[in-house]
Amino acid sequence: MKPAARVALNELRAHAEDVAGMHLREHFAADPARFDSFHLDLGDLTLDYSKNRISRETISRLVALCTAADLDERREAMFSGQTINSTEGREVLHTALRNRSNRPVIVDGEDVMPAVNGVLEGMGRFAEDVRRGRLTGVKGDRFSHVVNIGIGGSDLGPAMAVAALTPYRGDGPKVLFVSNVDGAHLSDTLAELDPAKTLFLIASKTFTTSETMTNAGSARAWVADTLGEDAVGAHFAALSTNLEAVSAFGIDTARAFGFWDWVGGRYSVWSAIGLPLAISIGFDNFLAFLDGAHRMDEHFRTAPWAENMPVLMAAIGVWNRNVLGLTSHGVMPYDQRLSRFAAHLQQLDMESNGKRVTLAGEPVDYQTGPVVWGEPGTNGQHAFFQLLHQGTDIVPCDFLIAAEPREQLADHHAKLAANCFAQTEALAFGKTEDEVRAELAAAGLEPADIDALAPHKTFPGNRPTNTLIYRCLDPATLGMLIALYEHRVFVQGVIWDINSFDQWGVELGKALASRLLPVVRDGADAEALDSSTIGLVARFRSLSEPG
């Protein structure tokens, strides 16, 4: 952490002795109009951060922390195409993919926007040809299903977005996703599909990702075995830059859509990796998705820190993590179609900021990325909210809800919203033992029964939440939400002085799996392995033998 930022963080810790000791009940009692001072609007998107254990002075000090961390300089470096992914020697330009202003973005002396727009135009033509039946299978059948085969960022982002925007599918094909190398995933997906009406998108920048290419090979065999080898070209497209490997697989390189080294996997839904989304919702809606993200980019680029939605969410997250010592962060969308949103954010946040050394390679002596998790409400209320309300760990949470539902089903949405707001109220204010005792007495319980029950029915409250409200979950709003969290992660990485854009921890497991494959599959010599791994492999092989 930069020396000035460390000073600012230490001052925040000293400040916390005053403000964090106040209960949220006291904060709201002292300022009944607290919402007015602690919320932000950006179009139809509202962030309420009033239910955090902060004061106006806290916000001022968090702004000072951002300034001390040179956030403005790092932000400009990212948007302008400087090499901020230092360990991989790459620029970080997912924002260029949705740069709807078309302002030049210069990399190695060349504006990347013409190339970005060229890929985007090709995606648009392909997506609409599939949707309208102009592009068909080898027998002339319109595609009823599109199966995206990828993993990590080539799966989580587009899979989440396709589910979120299901109402925009219209008469387009149903888009499915296969990621796990476990054969059950592919087998279960293909079980009810007609190969003559199925199109596969193979999403791998290098066309060498082990899990993806294993699934792709099996999908290819499924098509070739049922429709013939010559059918492969008509039923596959590639999201890749390795044209030689794409061609060797049997895919016409005209059906390969590339992207760049400066697009990280978990930031790639805006690139050719977003083709399954464009097919699912139509290209005009995909452009609206990009528009929404660009609007958040412009807000992040121009708004003062104290009025900047991603910056405030990030800074409050640092406050919770590094000052209050809270170790995890919950994401609770009260929006069923955001059922995969937390999973996408897990990769975005934990792969980006799960780092233990600074940009200079020095061990950090402070906490970095929290554990990110969550589920849609109201299901989560009947699963883990007990821990949120009365557990020994305090978990800051984000709640998300639309004002307008897509489905007009009696009072479903009113009940959903009431539950959402009730949870943030209960987490913030709790229920005191005196209140519990009064309720039990009013219900006619005997004093001894009240004494026995009161501790169990007391809620401490004082548990921080943010709430994001938006008019409806349309493509532009989803784009804004994803970009909001991308920038939140970036800001926290800047404050922690870490590289949010590499993922060496992922690479280690891949390398070890490659080394172990011949041992597991073929019984190759295992003497160099540790005794636990040798024992596990031996037991696995014995259990997998017939009879």
Backbone angles phi, psi at 180, to 5 degrees: -75, 135
Whether residue 399 contacts residue 423, with contact meaning beta carbons closer than 8 Å, is answered with yes
Cα 357 from chain centroid (whole Å): 23
Whether residue 424 contacts residue 51, with contact meaning beta carbons closer than 8 Å, is answered with yes
* Closest by Cα among 246, 214, 188, 216 to 517: 214
* Closest by Cα among 533, 420, 383, 405 to 473: 405
Spatial distance between the Cα atoms of 163 and 166, rounded to a whole number of angstroms: 5
Whether residue 474 contacts residue 288, with contact meaning beta carbons closer than 8 Å, is answered with yes
Spatial distance between the Cα atoms of 443 and 232, rounded to a whole number of angstroms: 71
Which of these is catalytic: 211, 351, 375, 486?
A: 351
| Residue 23 amino acid letter | H
* Residue 382 annotated as catalytic: yes
Residue with tokens 């948007």: 79
Q: Return the ∠ at Cα 100 (arms to 94 and 101), rounded to 5°.
A: 115
* Residue 197 annotated as catalytic: no
The residues with which 85 forms a beta bridge, in sequence order, are 90
For the chain, how many helices (H) and strands (E)? 24, 12
Which of these is catalytic: 139, 412, 415, 510?
A: 510
* Residue 211 annotated as catalytic: no
Spatial distance between the Cα atoms of 111 and 365, rounded to a whole number of angstroms: 40
Which of these is catalytic: 382, 407, 527, 545?
A: 382
User: 293 to each of 128, 153, 290, 487, how far by Cα in Å?
Assistant: 22, 17, 5, 11
Residue with tokens 């992040």: 300
| Active-site amino acid positions | 351, 382, 510
